Amino acid sequence: MAAIDQPTKNTADHFGSEEPKIKTLVIDTNAIINGISLRNLAEEFYTCPEVMVEIRSSHSRDFLTRLPFEIQIEQPSEESMKAVVEFSKKTGDYASLSIPDIKVLALAHTFAMKAPGHEEIRSEPLKGPAKKGPTPKKTNTPAAPQPVKKETDEPVKEKTNESAKEEVKESVKEEDPVEYLVQSVDDIIIDENIDEDDSDAGDWITPENVGEFQAAQLGVTPEEMRKPKKMEVACVTSDFAMQNVLLQMNMNLVSAGGHRIKKVRNWVLRCHACFTVTTDMEKKFCPKCGNASLMRVSCSTNNKGQIVYYLKRNYNYNLRGTKYDIPNPKGGRQVNNLVLREDQNEYVKATRGHQKKKLVDLFDPDFTPIYGKMETRTPGNNMYGTDVIGFGRKNPNATNKRTGRKK
């Protein structure tokens, strides 16, 4: 997409500075897994319990034990959770965010709402102008027919200098009279004391005085501009979907190792078959034609209020697996047929199972399991169905490896 152009002013790329530039820093999982140096970066460090659960490798756990500071565990507020979920749905990043990602964003939002300047945090993404599209191609329109001059045998008269001057005088007389201010050469006074260096009427901008010019444009002194500003709350992450939500909510972002987005984007789903657009990023099938042909497309709003979609140039839809016929549906308890429609029995069972898992949160402190009424069934058959659409990631044209003893 040529997406909404917004400068990433609330970003930082400086690690290991002597004085902490951030008061409260919220840490994501990838910052710990990648082993980013967080020393002297902030005064207080926070994260959520789900981040600590995701850290499983011995290398990452050793990195945690070697940290010279303590990472405090906090839970985000319910208001921040709702705000982040609603905002990510509006930007189209909700489907790309996991539960730990949402909780990290909500924790940063919780601290940001308590800090001064929380009025600048947005509840809706900005609708910026879109970039100009390609210029229309010029069409070769036939020129208007011109009258053909008659050929004569009379000789052509050659124009002399005197006749040409007379024609110019007559043309000047026919035009409207225009007053000209004629200045003689003697009246022009040339100042010989003018220095050649001052011909541009101003000082040159050099690397030494560029700070003074920038400070003058902002209306501050150079000393005030050189004074480092301290962030109240920031979040360190290298996940692009999280960065997109952070920047559009106008919260501070600390990039991890230079991995930072250049433009913020809004996303929608567009059907490749019937061109229907939906903002529900959790959809797998088109709400109009029913095909599993929804593509993730970036969009923006232009000055006229029209939504502009940015498609990939020379995009070829993946037709792998369509060369051969699909297998016939089979019956039985332990068979899952290919999912081709949203109302298919296997897909409906799978979506119901996912909804039940979302309702029950085992990490909830108020959760008390009731013995004898818990779900004890095992997914050894198609009891839970399948949410794999079509052939999934596997290559349907590849032959299956033969297992077992040959008969």
Annotated binding site: 271, 274, 286, 289
Residues 6+ apart with CB under 8 A from 53: 100
Distance CA 246, CA 234 (A): 9
Query: Residue with structure tokens 């994260």?
Result: 47
Identify the DSSP state of 255.
Answer: E
Distance CA 47, CA 36 (A): 15
Residue 94 tokens read as 């909700």
Question: Order of strands across the sheet with 11-12?
Answer: 11-12, 252-255, 231-237, 22-27, 42-47, 71-73
Distance CA 67, CA 257 (A): 18
Distance CA 392, CA 249 (A): 35
**Helices 78-91 and 240-248 meet at what angle, rounded to 10?**
100
How far apart, in Å, are the Cα atoms of 285 and each of 171, 187, 271? 74, 83, 9
Rounded (5°) CA angle 7-9-12: 130
Distance CA 221, CA 219 (A): 7
Q: Which of 32, 65, 26, 22 is nearest to 47 (CA)?
A: 26
Residues 6+ apart with CB under 8 A from 224: 215
Q: Which residues are annotated as a binding site for Zn(2+)?
A: 271, 274, 286, 289
Rounded (5°) CA angle 266-270-271: 170
Q: Which of 24, 68, 66, 16 is nearest to 41 (CA)?
A: 16
Residue 352 identity (one-letter amino acid): R
User: How does strand 22-27 pair with strand 231-237?
Assistant: parallel
Residue 178 tokens read as 């225009």
Identify the DSSP state of 271.
Answer: E
User: How does strand 71-73 pair with strand 42-47?
Assistant: parallel
